[in-house]
Structure 1
Amino acid sequence: MVKDLDPLMAMVLINYVYFRGQWERPFDKNLTVKADFHVDRNTKIEVDMMKKMGRFDYYQDHDNHTTVISLPYKGNTSMMIVFPDENKMEVVEGFINKDYLRHWHDKLYKNNLNFYMPKFSISVDTSLDEILKEMGVTEAYTDEADFSGISDEIKLKVSKVSHQAVLSVDETGTEAAAATTIEIMPMSLPVDMVLNRPFMVFIIEHSTRSIIFAGKISNPAAA
C-alpha cells in the first residue's frame, strides 16, 4: 500500500487489519473435486469445490430469496455466507444491511447438510475518495482542511484514500493449518447446498457483533 509514493507527500496514515482464520471443523481435502461454477447465465468455469457433511447453522429465508449458512472459525469469529436464489442477487444486494444480517444470525438453526463451497482467493484495491465525499467528507480534500492537531508547521490536506482487501479460503480456513476432525451426525436425510453461482461472505466477530470483512464472490477462479 505504500509503494510508489509521491515525493511531495507529507504523511501516510495506514489502517491495517489482518485476519487469520482456521475453520473450527476443517474440510477434508480428499473430498475436494473439480466442479462447475456459473459466473452468470452465459459463463461457466471450473473450480475446486470443497465438500463437508454435517450439522450446520442454517436458515432459508423464502420471503427474501436467500439461504444463509454460518461456518465458525476457531475463536470468536465466523463466516456468514449469503446465497441468493438464482437470478436474485441484485434483489438481495438492494436490501441487505447489518440489521438483516443480525436477523438472519438470530434465525439460524442446526440442519444436516451436504455443503459444497468453492475455494477462492480475492483481492480488491480501490479508491474511497468518491465514497467519502458522498458521505460528507469534503473539506479534508481542500485547502480549507484543518489538520493542525497533526501538524501546525505544515499545512496538510488529504490527497487520496486507498483501500485494499484480501481474502483467501481453502479447506483449512484462510491460512494453512493441519487439523483432522471426525464429525458425527444423526441419520437423517441431509439437504444439498451447493455454492455454484455468485454468493456473498461476511466475517463476523461475535463479542462486538462487528463485520470485519464483507465481499461478493462472483468468480472464485479470477486472478
Structure 2
Amino acid sequence: NSSELFTSPKEKKRKEKKRKGKIQELLPVDSVDSLTKLVLVNALYFKGNWAKKFKDGFTKEQPFRMTKNTTKPVQMMFQREKFNWTYIKTVHTHIIELPYVGNDLSMLILLPDDISDDTTERDLTYEKLSKWTSSEMMEKTEVDVYLPRIKMEESYDLKSTLSSMGMQDAFSEDRADFRGMSEKNDLVLSHVFHKCFVEINEEGTEAAAATAASMTTRSLISAIQFIADHPFLFFLRHNETKTILFLGRFCSP
C-alpha cells in the first residue's frame, strides 16, 4: 500500500535523520492515498561554514526594507573583510562572493541598488551570471558586509511546471512508461514535490543556532558598502565546475 509506505513512522524517521531534521513533512497532508502509485520527492540539505565568519557581537537588529514603505526588523550581521566584489552598471547591482571553508563552494549575492528594481532578476541568465562573477570581472576588495540572518523553508508541487516544460507523458495514465521500475508497466507519476530549507547565520549556511561589542571598523580606510537591507538574490556555486547548486530570493524576513 503506497500510503502506508510514505507515512510509516520508521520510513519517516529514517528520511528525517538523513536530512538532519531540517526538512520535515515533505509530503503535504492528503497528497498520497490508496490510488497513488508513484510520487517523486526531492529534498536539499547543505551545511557550510564561512571561510570568514561573522562575529556574533556585531549582529544587531536593523530594519529590512521589503518595499519603499514597508520594513520588518532583522538580525543584521556585519563584518569588514576582503571579498571578491564587483558592480554591474548595466543593471545597477552589487555582486559579492562569500566563500565557504575550503573554497570549493561560494555564496554569490546579487544586490540591486533600487529596492523596487526587478531588472536583475528579470534579465538574469546563466551566461550573464557566469560573466559577471568571472575572475576578470570581480576583484578582491575590502567590503563592509551587512547581511541578515536568514531562515527560509519553501515547498513546491512541480507537476504543472514540468508539464508546461514538456514533461507530460510521465503524468499520463496512457503514455507513462516506467517499465524499468515495474514489469507490469502500471506506474504513473502523480506528483513531484520539492522542499528546500536554507538558514544563514554568523557561522555559515545551516549552522546550528556572545559577547557584546559595538559595530566599529578597524581603521579609517574607506571600504565598499554592501548593505543587504532590501531584497536580493543568492546562489550557491560549486567553484570548480561553476555549477549552481541552488538559488533563492530573500524579500521578506
Q: How many Å apart are 1:3 and its aligned residue? A: 6.3
**Aligned twin of 1:18:** 45
TM-score, scaled relative to structure 1: 0.89
SS of 1:69's partner is strand
**Aligned twin of 1:181:** none
Which of residues 116, 133, 148 is equivalent to 2:163?
133
**In structure 2, how many angstroms separate the alpha carbons of the residues matched to 1:165 and 1:215?**
10
Cα displacement string for residues 142-192 of structure 1 (whole angstroms, at most 9, x for unaligned residues): 1121111111225111111111111000000123379xxxxxx99731122
**Aligned twin of 1:212:** 245
**Aligned twin of 2:191:** 160
**In structure 1, how many angstroms separate the alpha carbons of the residues matched to 2:89 and 2:47?**
33
TM-score, scaled relative to structure 2: 0.79
Which of residues 201, 214, 234 is equivalent to 1:170?
201
Q: How many Å apart are 1:60 and its aligned residue? A: 0.3
The 5-angstrom pairing of residues 1-223 of structure 1 reads 1-2=26-27, 4=29, 5-75=32-102, 76-87=104-115, 89-106=117-134, 107-143=137-173, 144-176=175-207, 188-219=221-252, 221=253
RMSD: 2.0
- More displaced stretch, 166-175 vs 187-196: 187-196
Native 8 Å contact 1:204 1:212 kept in 2: yes
Gaps of 5+ in 1: 179-184
Native 8 Å contact 2:60 2:77 kept in 1: yes
Native 8 Å contact 1:22 1:177 kept in 2: no
Cα displacement string for residues 111-155 of structure 1 (whole angstroms, at most 9, x for unaligned residues): 111110110100110111121111100111111211111112251
Q: Percent identity?
A: 30
Count of aligned residue pairs for this structure pair: 214
SS of 2:235's partner is strand
